[in-house]
Amino acid sequence: MVAHESRQGGPGAAAGTGGRRLGWFRGDDPFIWLCAGAVAFCLLMVSGLMGLILVRGMTYFWPAPVVEFEYTAPGASSVTLAGEIAHRQLVLPEQALDAPPAATGTHPERLLLKTGNRRIYGQDFRRIYSADLQNARYPEELTVFQRTEWGNLYGYLEALEVAGVRRSPDDALLQDLIARGADLRRQLRRLERGEGGRINGALEKLRLEERRLELDEAPADDARYVRLAEQRRTQQERYKNLEGRVGALRQQLERDRVWVRLASGERVEQTLGDILLAYRPNAMSLPQKLGFYLRGVLKFLGGEPREANTEGGIFPALFGTFIMVLGMSVLVTPFGVIAAIYLHENARQGLLTRLVRISVNNLAGVPSVVYGVFGLGFFVYFLGGSLDRLFYPEALPAPTFGTPGLIWASLTLGLLTVPVVIVATEEGLSRVPHSLREGSLALGATRSETLWRTVLPLTIPAMLTGLILAVARAAGEVAPLMLVGVVKLAPSLPVDGVFPYLHLERKFMHLGFHIYDVGFQSPNVEATQPLVYATTLVLVLLIVVLNLSAIYLRHRMREGYRDPGT
């Protein structure tokens, strides 16, 4: 029970302080200090964890200097390379058999260098012992090109070609062209997502309507078939038209190109439309870097993931989490609040209440993965499958609701977080002074009226606390979601411009799952680590802020509604 709130001082604060130097080790102090040490260790772990996430997550956006150096791989001739140092690591001797003789000391330091230029080198990252790094320098002209595909390109800007005309390297022009490319890409996306999505949706709807006619065993010469065919032709024409416009935009996008000389000497021709960003980290001043950093943060929060989630932003995951949590809140709040009222206000404190209490406790204690199993079996296959058979027979065997999706994830997490709301609300109810209730009843109000007009308004902060805690829990829960609707890459958001705008049956992305997936399922785990740290930071901040606000609300509530009767 949290209800015990004593303001008494530390117990026995003044006891046992006599000058018992002798046999100090057999006295009280070592034990007391060991206990304090346990608390300190917990505090240290929490702060260490937060610090680690904070440092690793925040540095992801910082424009790291690009180092150029000579490197001789064993049995090969010397090459010049350029790249960012992603990671430094001390290597165990048995894993460092390939270390250069200069480094065969104890634990040689190995660098993970992002040398980029995957198309040419075949890899984005190289592991190089720091002893192998020769002649390291930081040339100011070295430019980093972030591309839509094939990762980063590191090199020197050599020439530009604008609409077939060769131009000398010009930074301002390059930035203009990149901005133009960004604009074109935006138009392209709008066309493909917006109109393309609408046409695809309409075509799919037509297919389903036709299938439904077939299921209803409409005669083959039914006029409706003709109408459907006509509509399909219209849509297909629209599609062709769209394809033409998309093609034109694509051509525009591929108009310009840029020549880049790599540190290792190769010349690379690069379509400008594929370049997202070009910057010279070694030439940046601190304010420039700060600006770059902030833009990076915004792009990360608002951008789409690229290259199988290993680059780009996390917007779909944030949005998916948000929508899922919203759906869950709609469900969990009334259910939890009513259950709490039952427990605290209405019930005779008998066997039934005890049963409810045990149920609440168990709902809180059941492992989350069990909720996932239940959600998959009951909501998805049982409820969803029945819905499909009843309302969407034309789409079968492709499931509509009979497959993991947003609505089932919300329902499952709703069930999972109900105890959180119940516990918080009940605590709020127990803080409403009895004198208020008695006053209301004495003035002739019914119990329901007392509840709705007097007690519940006072409990709103408690409900809010519960809801916030539930949301924080849902935002970080992954195991059940893996079973009931989360995917690594959702093709479209659950909310878009196609009727009915909110697509409850769609699969969605989720922040927590994003961390699991990118951190553990991507081909190059080490390369994606910084991005995972950044995502982790976002999730941790979200959850810490939610929890702190819940703690604050609860604190205020405790201070606010002191029972005047006591």
Partner 1 sequence: MKTGGKAARPVDCNGISHGLARGRRLFDLLNNSLILVGGMAVIAACALIFLFLLYVVAPIFQSAEVRARSSFPTPGGGGDTLLYALEEQGGMALRVSGDGHAYFFNTRDGDLLKETTLLPAGAGPPVAFARGAPVYGGLALGLADGGVVLARCHFTAHYTAQGRQVTPVVEFPFTSAPFPVTPGGTAPVALGAALDAEQATVVAASAAGGFSLRLLRVQGRGKETDVLFGVPRAPESVVTELPYAGGRISRVFVNERQDRVFVIEEDRFLHFYDISRPGAPILLQKASLVEGETRVRSVTLQARGFSLLIGDSAGRVRQWFPARDAEGRETLRLVRTFSADGLGAITALAPELERRGFVVGDGTGRLALFHATSGHQLLLKQVAAGGIHQAAFSVRAEHLLVAAADARVSLWEVHNPHPELSWRALWDKIWYEGRNQPEWVWQSSAASADFEPKFSLTPLSFGTLKAAFYAMLFAIPLAVLGAICTAYFMAPRLRALVKPVIEIMEAVPTVILGFLAGLWFAPFVEGHLPAIFLILLLAPAAVIGAAWLWSHLPAAARSKLYGWEALPLVAVLVLAVAAAVQLSVPLEMLFFDGSMPQWIHARLGLDYDQRNSLVVGVAMGFAVIPTIFSISEDAVFSVPRHLSTGSLALGATRWQTLRRVVLVAALPGVFSAVMIGFGRAVGETMIVIMATGNTPITDWNLFEGFRALSANIAVELPEAEVGGSHYRLLFLSALLLFLVTFGLNTAAELVRLRLRRRYRAL
- In the region spanning residues 535 to 554, those forming contacts with partner 1, defined by CB under 8 A, are 536, 539-540, 543-544, 546-548, 551
Cα–Cα distance between 33 and 25 in angstroms, integer? 11
Residue 162: C-alpha distances to residues 133, 140, 167 (Å): 38, 25, 7
Residues 369 to 398 in contact with partner 1, rule: CB under 8 A: 369-374, 376-378, 381-382
Q: Measured from the CB of residue 397, what is the shortest distance to partner 1 in angstroms?
A: 13
Q: Which of 159, 203, 242, 441 binds partner 1 (CB under 8 A)?
A: 441
Q: Give bridge partners of residue 233 from the DSSP assignment.
A: none
How many of the other CB atoms lie within 10 Å of CB of 258?
Answer: 27
Report DSSP letters for 129-168, one per residue. EGGG-EEEE--TT-EEEEESSS-EEEEEEEEEEETTEEE-
Q: Measured from the CB of residue 325, what is the shortest distance to partner 1 in angstroms?
A: 13
Residue with smaller CB distance to partner 1, 157 or 542: 542
Q: Measured from the CB of residue 226, what is the shortest distance to partner 1 in angstroms?
A: 24
Q: Give bridge partners of residue 295 from the DSSP assignment.
A: none
Site string for partner 1, 354-373 (x = CB under 8 A): xxxxxxxxxxxxxxxxxxxx
- Residue 123: closest CA among 135, 131, 114: 114
Instruction: Kindly tell me the burial class for residue 404, based on how many C-beta atoms sit within 10 Å of its own C-beta (0-12, 13-18, 19 or more).
Output: buried
Q: Which of 99, 153, 260, 483 binds partner 1 (CB under 8 A)?
A: 483
- Residue 529: closest CA among 164, 59, 27, 152: 59
Which residue pairs from 334-337 have beta carbons closer than 8 angstroms and sit at least 24 positions apart in sequence? 335/414, 335/418, 335/421, 336/417, 336/418, 336/419, 336/420, 336/421, 336/422, 336/425, 336/466, 336/470, 337/421, 337/425, 337/463, 337/466
Query: Which of the stretches 76-84, 152-160, 262-270, 509-517 binds partner 1 when contact is defined by CB under 8 A?
Result: 509-517
Residue with smaller CB distance to partner 1, 30 or 65: 30
Lookup: tokens for 336: 């939890």
Residues 175 to 214 in contact with partner 1, rule: CB under 8 A: none
Please tell me the count of residues contacting partner 1 according to CB under 8 A.
139
Q: Which of 113, 160, 339, 553 binds partner 1 (CB under 8 A)?
A: 339
Q: Which of 104, 135, 446, 524 binds partner 1 (CB under 8 A)?
A: 446
| Residue 330 interacting with partner 1 (CB under 8 A) | no
Query: Which of the stretches 64-72, 77-85, 197-205, 525-533 binds partner 1 when contact is defined by CB under 8 A?
Result: 525-533
Per-residue DSSP letter, 443: T
The H or E element that residue 482 is part of is: helix 479-484
How many of the other CB atoms lie within 10 Å of CB of 184?
Answer: 17
| Residue 411 interacting with partner 1 (CB under 8 A) | no
Q: According to the 3-state scheme, what is the secondary structure of 406-419?
A: HHHHHHHHHHHHHH
Residue with smaller CB distance to partner 1, 38 or 330: 38
Query: Which of the stretches 192-200, 213-221, 259-267, 333-341 binds partner 1 when contact is defined by CB under 8 A?
Result: 333-341
Do the beta carbons of residue 353 and residue 345 sit within 8 Å? no
Residues 462 to 481 in contact with partner 1, rule: CB under 8 A: 469, 472-473, 475-479
Residues 106 to 135 in contact with partner 1, rule: CB under 8 A: 106-107
Site string for partner 1, 140-179 (x = CB under 8 A): ----------------------------------------
- Residue 259: closest CA among 153, 148, 179, 182: 153
| Residue 248 interacting with partner 1 (CB under 8 A) | no
Per-residue DSSP letter, 490: -
Q: Measured from the CB of residue 310, what is the shortest distance to partner 1 in angstroms?
A: 14
Residue with smaller CB distance to partner 1, 133 or 441: 441
Report DSSP letters for 252-294, one per residue. HHTS-EEEEE-TTS-EEEEEGGGEEEEE-GGG--HHHHHHHHH
Q: Which of 140, 243, 266, 438 binds partner 1 (CB under 8 A)?
A: 438
Q: Which of 188, 203, 218, 347 binds partner 1 (CB under 8 A)?
A: 347
Residues 15 to 74 in contact with partner 1, rule: CB under 8 A: 15-17, 21, 24-25, 27-47, 49, 52-53
Q: Measured from the CB of residue 209, what is the shortest distance to partner 1 in angstroms?
A: 23
| Residue 485 interacting with partner 1 (CB under 8 A) | no
| Residue 490 interacting with partner 1 (CB under 8 A) | no
